[in-house]
Structure 1
Amino acid sequence: MSRLTRRRALGAGAAAAGLAVVGAAPAAPVVSAVPAAPSEGSRRTDPRTPQPFDEVYLGRRIQGGPSHAGGHHDHHAGGWAVRIDGRELHVMRNTDGTWISVVNHYEPQATPRAIARAAVLELQGASLVPVDLA
């Protein structure tokens, strides 16, 4: 007889829960969690879409905007480039929409601007050193 693994136990639990739902009374109608698409006349921007920025933060120039390089690692950053004092900060977008960088990999931030600011704080005046990710 085969051993019971965590995967099999979870699968059996999910199957049992599914069977229990089938035998239950009819549920209320399902309401879609997907927001309706804005009409063509409204020009609202999606709050999850990062906005370009160019500012001086704590004496360091931080910039961010759409990347047009099309490089090997461009898919990680969702088509975005972030720079500190003209040097590229490698950033990556997580599946939950947060952003991380090589400087603060374990501190996700909501936007590329926030990740650039967090990197400036972490660098404490040090220069950003290029990272070869190849």
Structure 2
Amino acid sequence: MNKITRRQALGTTAGALTVLGLAGATAYAADTDSRAAISARDAANAGPAGTAGTAGTLDEVYQGRRIQITPATGGAHHGGHHSAGLPAVRIDGRELHVMQNADGTWISVVNHYETFSDPLSLARAAVRELQGAALVPMGGM
């Protein structure tokens, strides 16, 4: 009867883990490429960037959801627990919590592992990620 040696078991395990790692890296690269393609497509299909209102306010409908971005004001945001200087980003009238990183990129509570170059691309990504779900306020319901 053939018995498997410890060396053979470790070699098989290492091989299987290598295959899984390569498959994961390939899937990640494909996902990154598809996200870049989606962003490029959305930018091309968005048409006008929205209606610019007074003092740089942006108002647009993206994938059936209304995005409103108003520039930073002198007051505090989100019930007073954040410093001033952040624009107010709303999806269907509900505020999306946004933060700016030290490098100038933007993140949101919906997409906090992915950075965006501006609040509009961040809001569009949040709309895609929500997939029709309502945005829930930061403090709960």
Query: Given the two structures, how large is their TM-score scaled by the length of structure 2?
Result: 0.53
> How many pairs were matched up?
82
CA-CA distance at 1:67 after TM superposition? 3.9
Match of 1:62 among 63, 67, 76: 67
4+ residue segments displaced more than 3 Å: none
CA-CA distance at 1:65 after TM superposition? 1.4
Partner residue in 2 for 1:112: 119
Q: Which string of whole-angstrom CA distances, capped at 9 and with x for unpartnered residues, describes residues 94-129 of structure 1? A: 000000000000111000001000000000000000
Structure 2: gaps of 5 or more residues: 1-55
Contact 1:103–1:119 under 8 Å retained in 2: yes
C-alpha RMSD of matched pairs (Å)? 1.9
Amino acid aligned to 1:103: V
CA-CA distance at 1:73 after TM superposition? 3.6
Using the alignment, how far apart are the partners of 2:106 and 2:72 within structure 1? 15
Partner residue in 2 for 1:125: 132
1:98 aligns to 2:101 (yes or no)? no
Query: Given the two structures, how large is their TM-score scaled by the length of structure 1?
Result: 0.56
Structure 1: gaps of 5 or more residues: 1-50
Partner residue in 2 for 1:17: none
Q: Percent identity?
A: 63
Match of 1:83 among 90, 95, 113: 90
User: Is the partner of 1:127 in helix, strand or coil?
Assistant: coil
Using the alignment, how far apart are the partners of 1:119 and 1:100 within structure 2? 10
Match of 1:53 among 38, 58, 65: 58
Q: Which string of whole-angstrom CA distances, capped at 9 and with x for unpartnered residues, describes residues 31-88 of structure 1? A: xxxxxxxxxxxxxxxxxxxx5311000000001012434232442x733110000000
Higher relative contact order (CA 8 A, sep 6+): 1
Amino acid aligned to 2:125: A
